[in-house]
Amino acid sequence: MSQNKRPDKKVYSLTEKGQRALTDQLRKAPGPDKNRSEFLAALLFAEAVSPDRVSDLVNERIEDHDTRIRSLEALLADDMSPASRFVLEYGVAMQKAALTYLRDHQDDLLAQVTNPGEAAE
C-alpha cells in the first residue's frame, strides 16, 4: 500500500491454512479469564504503609478507571459490528464495576487500615 513520505506499507492477510487454524481455535471454548492486578497485590499489604498512601493508591486507581471508561466510550461508533460493540461495552461495564466497588468501599478500607483493632471487633 502506497503512503506519502513513508515506505510502502505491507498489507497482510490470512492464508487458507491460517484461516482454518483460526476457525478451529474459535470453535474451542476459551479458558477462564486471568486476573492479575499489581494494585490488588499492593493492597494486600495495606497495613504496611501509611493510610495516606493507601488513600493515594485507591484514588489513583479511581482516576485510572474514569480515564479508561471515557477512552472506551469514545471508541463506540454506530457502524461497529455487533460483536465489536458487545466486547467494547463489556470492557466499559467491567471498568464501571471496578470503579463503583472502589468508591463504595474506599472509606471502609481506609478506616480498617487506620484503626486495625477496630476492624477486627
d(CA 81, CA 97): 24
Question: Are 97 and 104 a contacting pair, CB within 8 Å?
Answer: no
The per-residue pLDDT for range 65-110, each reduced to its tens digit, is: 999 999 999 999 999 999 999 999 999 999 999 999 999 999 999 9
- Of all helices (H) and strands (E), which one includes residue 59? helix 51-75
Average of pLDDT values for 27-33? 94
- Does position 119 have pLDDT exceeding 60, yes or no? no
Reported as a single tens digit per residue, the pLDDT across 38-59 is 999 999 999 999 999 999 999 9
Is pLDDT at 118 greater than 70 in this prediction?
no
- Residue 56 has a pLDDT of 97
Confidence of residue 117 (pLDDT cuts 50, 70, 90): low
Backbone φ and ψ for 107, nearest 5 degrees, come out as -65, -40
